[in-house]
């Protein structure tokens, strides 16, 4: 595993951040996840919360600690990090309907990009997208791996409402809206899967896992919606 250079920042007596090189990179993500796992294993009694972004790991402590002591403890812990803490990613299948009748905005996107419908579906379903983290909305996945041919600038004027389950593209990213929300991304598909059950987020995906979109027709879309439950299929990722 690649051991990236990091910097430590004490933002307050209870909050510490660890910074990796400022770029979106798969290797950085897995280095962050390994260190995060190590911190949780060794500091479980000290941590109130821990979360990460593309290149920053934030740690909230249960009680105030001297900054120098905390940073030095993290440095020593980092020196002992090894491959035993590497995350073992899974690959998950997520059904998406790309029918123009169900997702009329897809036609606008296709004209803007000069793509045929079959070509777009093939390109969008080809990658096993890397889940970096959740953010923006509960259950909103920040995914990496979108084909550059599918990149599109975000809308200059965001929509007031993007429907729950919408698969969308904005800039160089693609993702799924787990709930209705304003947004400036182009809606290109619709997933019938419910992300919430009884008001609680119910997703098996973890950062580091891979998400593969599977194209389905409107009949399959309707059947899954009516069941209001979905049996997730996964396998060890071997990419």
Exposure b/e, 78-95, CB count within 10 A at least 16 = b: eeebeeebebebbbbebb
Residue that is last in its domain, among 45, 65, 85: 85
Same domain, 61 and 170: no
Partners of 19 in the β-ladder: 7, 56
Q: What is the pTM of this model?
A: 0.90
State the pLDDT confidence band at 1, using cuts at 50, 70 and 90: low
Count of domains for the chain: 2
Q: Give the span between the Cα atoms of 34 and 205, in whole angstroms.
A: 17
| Structural domain boundaries, residue 74 | 7-85
Residues 144-165 have a mean pLDDT of 94
pLDDT tens by residue, 177-199: 998 999 999 999 999 998 887 77
For the cut 90, the answer to whether the pLDDT of residue 229 exceeds it is no
State the pLDDT confidence band at 121, using cuts at 50, 70 and 90: very high
From the list 205, 195, 193, the residue with the least C-alpha distance to 230 is 193
Residue that is last in its domain, among 85, 110, 145: 85
Q: Per the structure block, which two tokens stand in for 61? A: 């402590």
Q: Give the span between the Cα atoms of 29 and 159, in whole angstroms.
A: 31
Phi, psi of 96 (to 5 degrees): -140, 135
Mean pLDDT of the chain: 91
Residue that is last in its domain, among 39, 67, 85: 85
Q: Give the span between the Cα atoms of 129 and 147, in whole angstroms.
A: 10
pLDDT tens by residue, 51-105: 999 999 999 988 877 767 888 899 999 999 888 888 899 999 999 999 999 999 9
Compute the CA torsion angle 217, 165, 52, 198 (nearest 10 deg).
-120
Q: Give the span between the Cα atoms of 89 and 81, in whole angstroms.
A: 19
Same domain, 98 and 196: yes
Same domain, 97 and 168: yes
Same domain, 39 and 109: no
**Would you call 125 helix, strand, or coil by DSSP?**
helix
């Amino acid at each position: 595993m690649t051991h990236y250079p990091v910097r430590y920042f004490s933002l307050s007596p209870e909050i510490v951040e660890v910074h990796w090189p400022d770029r979106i990179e798969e290797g950085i993500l897995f280095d962050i996840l390994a260190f995060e796992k190590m911190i949780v294993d060794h500091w479980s009694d000290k941590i109130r919360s821990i979360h990460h972004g593309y290149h920053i790991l934030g740690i909230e402590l249960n009680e105030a600690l001297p900054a120098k002591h905390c940073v030095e403890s993290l440095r020593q812990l980092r020196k002992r990090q090894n491959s035993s803490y590497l995350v073992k990613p899974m690959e998950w299948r997520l059904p998406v309907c790309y029918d123009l009748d169900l997702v009329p905005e897809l036609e606008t996107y296709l004209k803007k990009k000069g793509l045929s419908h079959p070509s777009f579906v093939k390109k969008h379903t080809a990658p096993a997208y890397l889940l970096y983290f959740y953010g923006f909305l509960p259950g909103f996945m920040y995914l990496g791996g979108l084909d550059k041919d599918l990149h599109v600038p975000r809308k200059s004027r965001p929509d007031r409402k993007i429907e729950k389950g919408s698969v969308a593209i904005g800039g160089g990213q693609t993702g799924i809206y787990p709930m209705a929300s304003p947004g400036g991304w182009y809606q290109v598909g619709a997933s019938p899967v419910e992300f919430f059950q009884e008001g609680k987020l119910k997703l098996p995906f973890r950062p580091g896992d891979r998400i593969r979109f599977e194209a389905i027709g409107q009949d399959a879309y309707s059947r899954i919606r009516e069941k209001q439950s979905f049996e997730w299929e996964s396998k060890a990722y071997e990419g």
